[in-house]
Structure 1
Amino acid sequence: MAYRWGVDSAQEVTKELYQCVLTNFGKPAYWGRYLTTVPDASEGLTAGEIKLLQDSGTKVMPIYNNFKEATGYRKGRVIAQNAAFHAKRLNFPKEKVLFANVERFFKVDEAWIRGYVDAMYNTDYKPGFYHDPVQGPFADAYCKAVSKDSKVANQSVLWSAEPEPGVTRAKKAPKFQPVKPSCKANVWGWQYGRSAKTCPIDTNLINDRLFELLW
């Protein structure tokens, strides 16, 4: 299995930021970006940004973060529908993965995870979860959701934030060893370094299967 190096950022990707990453870290195969603007958290992805990235030979990894907790089946469905709405607005093609951004300090329950997966199943997109499998309740809630519905494990792609050895250049990336939940899970992404000092980005590794689900 081949692994690909890339970055994510809360800030808009400008030519200057892209050049900063190119010069200091290497060429990103993909760039994780947030689908909407959330005050004090993220600048929303634009069509111009998508063009800049794709013209540079970098795929877009979409993240949805306009929520502050992950509880309740109905709320999970609503978040999936909102994420799909914004992906369609930006012309993301069918069959691409949309990552719900579940922070380590969020409340999370298994019903929300099932709701997100179920609703995403009925859109044109695939469910993904950015999560911390060590700190916070996600891993436990995820395994409970899997035990209730095998579709959760089969359909979802997980992007792990642990362990965190720290930011590196592309060529110095660690071996792909993300922490995984204790149950069946497609852990295909790993954010191994956060908050680089040189450019405002995080560094990641993903496998080829996830790479194919990006735009």
Structure 2
Amino acid sequence: MDFIDYYKILELDKNASESDIKKAYRKLARKYHPDLNPKDETAKKKFQQINEANEVLSDPEKRKKYDKFGKDWKHADEMGQQPQQQYSRNTNSGGDFGSYSEHDFSDFFESMFSGGTGGRRGSQVKYRGQDLNATLNIDLKDVYHSQKQTLTINGKNIRLTIPAGVENGQTIKIAGHGGEGMNNGPKGDLYISFSITNNSKFKRDGSSLYSEADMDLYTA
């Protein structure tokens, strides 16, 4: 059986902290979650591997065994007694050097490839929806009065109040109007940036407008 590097699956090094493991798992589980990758068998397999890796590395005792015994970590207790058992078998029968049958590893394969306990646990994690970003173009002449506009984001109409004096490039957040969460997770937020166009003769400086006009000396 090929060795499966759990640290590599979670994109971590062996000195990763518990916090690092938790963050990496959440990031990758969300990226490869079957609900976000329907009909993608590669993503499904990756998601199962991520859950398997997290189940082992997030448990201090399992991680300790994995670091010491690698792919055979589930049989760490047996391997710790193997020299004594092998000696006993050799003196009694002269053969059967303590080999293991195939069914000893069946739980490992089942957990890895058939969506076992780790997969079910991962599917219950609540994921917050993605934040969305949008840009709203408004004219300079409309900036100096509060106004309401209706935006359509992902097929939903959102009634927005634009405050007077909004700045070019300013961004406001509308909580709970982003992408849908998964497994009853909260929605993301919507961020709207303002792009102000100036088609007038005025120049803006903060909250003031300036305009240049040519006039003769006597009029001035």
TM-score relative to the length of structure 2: 0.26
Of the two structures, which has the highest relative contact order with CA contacts closer than 8 Å and spacing of 6 or more? Answer: 1
TM-score relative to the length of structure 1: 0.27
Higher helix share: 2
